[in-house]
Amino acid sequence: MNGFPFAIVGFDLDGTLVDTLGDLTAAVNHALALVDRAPLAEAAVRPMIGRGAKHMLEQGLRASGGVPDGAVERLYPELLDFYEAHIAVHSRLFPGVVAALDRLDALGVRTAVVTNKAEHLARVLLGQFDLSGRMGVIIGGDTLGVRKPSPEPIHAMTRRCGGGRTVFVGDSIYDVMAAKNAGVPSVAVSFGFLDRPVGELGAHHVVDHFNELVPLLAAL
């Protein structure tokens, strides 16, 4: 471990490792078009991301005119099918992700993803960027039957990675709360899909670029 203070670094996915805003917005607007709703701008969809696709759809319907009875159940499969078929049209890794993972690998640190996105979709998305095989564990919102801000996905990540001191990196209040509930330090990224100023998330630390992450963790 070369004296590095963490054995495991866990990451959120959307808004943390990958900028998925364009493709998630397109999926929401596809579903809205099926019920003759006007499309939403990316800026409107951004704060809806973080609790999974069904929550995002509910929020999209509410923002565009309300949630009719049965609409979420009817449109949710349509949204998922469209999203999977167009999962990486606009999505891109945030700058510095690969270099940070390379550095963590060189230090012998195990990396993992805990996301509220469905596990299958998380694996497909990570595979588009050749990252799925680099993660020791990938836990989705449907993997355990509970999702962030529950601590259980963080606990499961740590167990499945073999145990050791853990830190979690994310961009939302759900990430920070999950880490807090699990008793592990949290790092917030200021460039994610924030629904409030990053300083109000309550994370232990904040980074503005992935090139800051490993030096920060090394100093803790």
CATH 3.40.50.1000 boundaries in the chain: 8-20+91-218
Measure the CA–CA gap between 178 and 117, rounded to whole angstroms. 15
pLDDT in tens, 90-104: 999 999 999 999 999
pLDDT in tens, 124-159: 999 999 999 999 999 999 999 999 999 999 999 999
CATH 1.10.150 boundaries in the chain: 21-85
Strand partners, 114: 139
Measure the CA–CA gap between 183 and 120, rounded to whole angstroms. 27
- The CATH code of the domain at 8-20+91-218 is 3.40.50.1000
Quote the pTM value.
0.94
Nearest to 32 by CA among 14, 56, 11, 8: 56
Provide the annotated active-site residues.
12
pLDDT in tens, 9-52: 999 999 999 999 999 999 999 999 999 999 999 999 999 998 88
The CATH architecture assigned to 21-85 reads Orthogonal Bundle (1.10)
